[in-house]
Chains A and B, each alone.
Chain A
Amino acid sequence: MYKKFLQLTKNLTVSLEKGLNFITTQENNPLYFHGALPLYTFWFLIFSGIMLWMYYIPTLDRAWTSVNYITSLPVLLKDASGQLLLKNGSPVVSAISPATGIPYGAVVRGIHRWGAAAMMITTILHMLRVYFTDRHRSWRWLPWVSGVLLLMFVLFVGITGYLLVWDARAYSLVVSTQAWLEAVPLVGQGLSTFFIGGDAIRDFTLTRFFFFHIGGATFIFWLIWMHFIRLNEPVVTPSRAVNFLTLGFILVAAGVYPAVNVTNDLIAQYPVLAGDKGFIASDAPAQIGYLVDVIRYDAWYLFPYYLIEKTGVNWAWIILGGSTILLFVAPFYPKDRRDNIAEVVEAKCTGCTFCSLDCPFEAITMQERAPGSKFKLIAVVFAPRCSECGICVGACPFQAIELPNTHSKTIEADVLALLKTGAQ
């Protein structure tokens, strides 16, 4: 039943991708680079994050001001005379004066913001694609489990990014997080204290969030290494066309919807932002003890808080915790019969390493033979990692590695038999 479900999802996925192939060709189908895209978007976050870091001050009284100093110029257009314009066409008084902000700071923050959205979207797309095409089970358990950890850390880093802005929304999120952590029996209070770095929110709290954000992003690199460790020649970058397409989406989003905190002052200066007026309270500087009525929730990173608001902390734990457990156990069920694992023919193996180099899942290692042997090395198959694909068989010029149920000699006999019947 479950396998039939996976077959159905695979059919649907392949049909969708086939349709896209008509437009993009196989070589440039973005859905074929679903694994490389999150890593590609991560680089945008690293570089834009370093630029934002230059100006960010992690203290309660300066954090919001420093972020909005960076982004006080959401400006991008020029008229024929070179005069900079806003989206609505009104001229900007000063585009580059350091006194009013950082040139193109809103765009850099926009790249950080939309790059983060792109990373989460492509990560989820990657996860769904892998799951729907049944490429998450058995020998692929480590990439999947490390992928779930990556998803959690991307979420964690994204959430801490929202806290660093230190607007009213950030304060509400901190309060909500504390309530969520305190719901944990026995250790809840301790977790809450650990989260804010003491018994009350102080400057050190923001320093801690800053560490969570940067340290978490650094840890993501380690998890990516874990994610790739069992993969031979992982695809780490999409095709050039897909790269430019992604870059274009992020830049256009950053230019058209720059990331800014909407305030009355900003609306007075840039009327086009008035459309977001409902979120002014949410975007205003944080005040300890003041919770806003309407929070501007980001769909990709702040959905846990929406869940907490709608269901309460206990149900949020049950839903989020239960989903996480399901994701972690997914690669271990159902189990396949594994009866065609590659076997090395010891007498024929010359130690040439071809099979080891070509194995897509790093299942073959080369080991030293006993002293005095005819050949120095021998291939050794680590059965739990073997996918039974036979790529090692194709790589071996000496017929020294075989799939027992799909033996090369059987294939060659079949070829000759087919030629015989075909000629009659």
Chain B
Amino acid sequence: MSELQPTAPAEKKKRVIVGFVCERSIPIHEMLDAQKALVDDPETKIIVLPCSGMVKPTQMELALANGADATFVCGCAMNDCHYRTGNIMIRERLEGERNPKLRKSTDKRKVGMFFFTMKDRRPFLDALAQFKASTENL
């Protein structure tokens, strides 16, 4: 009787998530390594911007079209944008309520939005992990 040999676990596919993060929301400069990846989550690469309102939906589409498994934007806490309306603008653009919008053909399940304060490092990482899990099998 032959013994069952444990099979080697299949190598997990390397994922890439691209995040566009407002430098006044989470403490992003403390959270990045030299490769602009999150220290706590090397799969997540970050573009740091002065405000989340600067993100163009086309830039998120560009990331998805070029191999990103998901993309997200992170701005200041809702109602508390340092520049007053940046987080509202990007939310409305991604939700299709303000121009320029995401294309209709974009898989919106792969597009995330987070709004946190500079004291919210851990809540952001938790929300990101949840978002990544939700996009894992897409």
Contact = CB atoms under 8 A, between A and B. Distances in A.
Interface stretch (B2-10, B48-56, B104-112): B48-56
A312 interface: no
B100 interface: yes
Interface in A373-424: 387-391, 393-397, 403, 406, 408, 411-412, 414-416, 418-419, 421-423
Chain A contact surface mostly: helix
B16 A394 contact: no
Contacts of B93: 394
Interface residues of A, number: 46
Chain B contact surface mostly: loop
A32 B80 contact: yes
A32 B16 CA distance: 35
Contacts of A33: 79
B134 interface: no
Residue of A133, A233, A389 most packed against chain B (CB within 10 A): A389
B63 A389 contact: no
Size bracket of the B interface:
35 or more
A395 B99 CA distance: 7
B92 to A, nearest CB: 10
A390 B51 contact: yes
A360 B83 contact: yes
B66 A415 contact: yes
Contacts of A406: 49-50, 54
Given A32-B79, A358-B98, A418-B47, 15 more contacts: A10-B118, A29-B79, A133-B82, A232-B85, A235-B79, A354-B100, A360-B85, A361-B83, A389-B51, A391-B53, A391-B86, A406-B49, A415-B66, A418-B16, A421-B35
Interface of A: 10-11, 14-15, 17-18, 21, 26-27, 29, 32-33, 133, 135, 231-233, 235, 340, 354, 358, 360-361, 387-391, 393-397, 403, 406, 408, 411-412, 414-416, 418-419, 421-423
22 contacts: A10-B118, A15-B119, A18-B117, A21-B117, A135-B82, A358-B53, A387-B83, A389-B82, A389-B83, A389-B86, A391-B83, A393-B54, A394-B90, A395-B99, A411-B49, A415-B59, A415-B66, A418-B36, A418-B45, A421-B35, A422-B14, A422-B45
8 interchain residue pairs of minimum CB distance: A390-B54, A422-B16, A391-B53, A389-B83, A32-B79, A418-B45, A360-B84, A389-B51
